[in-house]
């Protein structure tokens, strides 16, 4: 691969869902803020990768203190988050102009492994857009006007991050106006007319949104 690699790590959480005073990206996992684990995963995959961290600007100072406290040395740029995830990602993309491969990752997925990062970059390099997915374990039902019906779980995949794209595709896609239908970056890219390819993720790559998830993540790290 010759293209430069850039990771945009989006951590816009304000701690509301967790019912904690501290935003979830700063909660400690094995003695260190979740967000630091996440950054380390990308740095461990490729120490040359450019890392952009998107945070609400109100959290910049606190993050800076955390970095000092934990002697966190991995170089990264801070970009101010927007009102919705779409705008947070857009703010980060606005700082990029060179031809590159861009990974967009949830700040609260600290258990991302190098294998998944590698598979996503390889597929994005090949086809332009790649996202990691996993199978469903439980049965699934679709809701419809107050009722529900069983659907075939093998027809579905759960979607994770990092979602990876050639820069020209993701930059072009984020020129669109925001839509409520944009549930993730892949949906933005698809709305712009591109197709997205699936690569295999891992079940460990959970998104930490509740204290229960934090407990799970601790278990995975043992």
Query: Which SS3 state, helix, strand or coil, does residue 153 take?
Result: helix
Tell me how far apart the alpha carbons of residues 153 and 157 are, in angstroms, rounded to a whole number. 8
Residue 75 or 193 having the CB closest to a copy of itself: 193
- Residue with the two structure tokens 């991995």: 74
CB 103 within 8 A of CB 8: yes
- Name the one range near a copy of itself by CB under 8 A: 28-36, 85-93, 110-118, 143-151: 143-151
Q: Which of residues 154-213 bind a copy of itself (CB under 8 A)?
A: 154-160, 181, 183-184, 186-187, 190, 195-196, 198, 203-204, 206-207, 209-210, 212
Number of amino acids touching a copy of itself (CB under 8 A): 46
Asked if 103 contacts 164 with a C-beta cutoff of 8 angstroms, the reply is yes
CA separation for the pair 18, 121 (Å, rounded): 32
Among positions 143, 175, 177, 193, the unique one binding a copy of itself when judged by CB under 8 A = 143
Measured from the Cβ of residue 125, the count of other Cβ atoms closer than 10 Å reads 16
CB of 64 to a copy of itself, least distance (A): 30
CB of 202 to a copy of itself, least distance (A): 9
**Are 138 and 46 in contact, with CB atoms under 8 Å apart?**
no
Residues 6+ apart with CB under 8 A from 60: 78, 80
Residue window 81-110: x/- pattern of binding to a copy of itself, with contact defined by CB under 8 A: ------------------------------
Place of tokens 């019912």: 19
Contacts with a copy of itself by CB under 8 A lie at 133, 136-144, 147-160, 181, 183-184, 186-187, 190, 195-196, 198, 203-204, 206-207, 209-210, 212, 215-216, 218-220, 222
């Amino acid at each position: 691969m010759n293209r430069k690699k850039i990771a945009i790590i989006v951590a816009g959480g304000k701690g509301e869902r967790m019912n904690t005073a501290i935003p979830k990206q700063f909660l400690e996992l094995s003695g260190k803020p979740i967000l630091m684990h996440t950054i380390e995963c990308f740095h461990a995959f490729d120490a040359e990768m450019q890392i952009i961290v998107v945070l609400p600007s109100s959290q910049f100072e606190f993050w800076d203190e955390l970095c000092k406290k934990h002697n966190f040395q991995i170089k990264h740029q801070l970009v101010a988050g927007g009102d919705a995830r779409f705008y947070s990602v857009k703010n980060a993309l606005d700082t990029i102009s060179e031809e590159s491969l861009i990974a967009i990752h949830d700040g609260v997925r600290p258990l991302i492994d190098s294998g998944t990062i590698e598979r996503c970059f390889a597929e994005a390099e090949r086809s332009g857009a790649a996202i990691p997915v996993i199978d469903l374990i439980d049965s699934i039902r679709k809701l419809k006007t107050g009722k529900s019906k069983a659907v075939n779980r093998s027809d579905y995949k759960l979607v994770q991050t990092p979602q990876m794209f050639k820069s020209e595709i993701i930059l072009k896609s984020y020129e669109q106006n925001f839509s409520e239908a944009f549930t993730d970056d892949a949906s933005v890219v698809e709305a712009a007319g591109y197709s997205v390819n699936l690569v295999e993720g891992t079940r460990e790559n959970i998104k930490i949104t509740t204290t229960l998830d934090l407990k799970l993540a601790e278990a995975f790290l043992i």
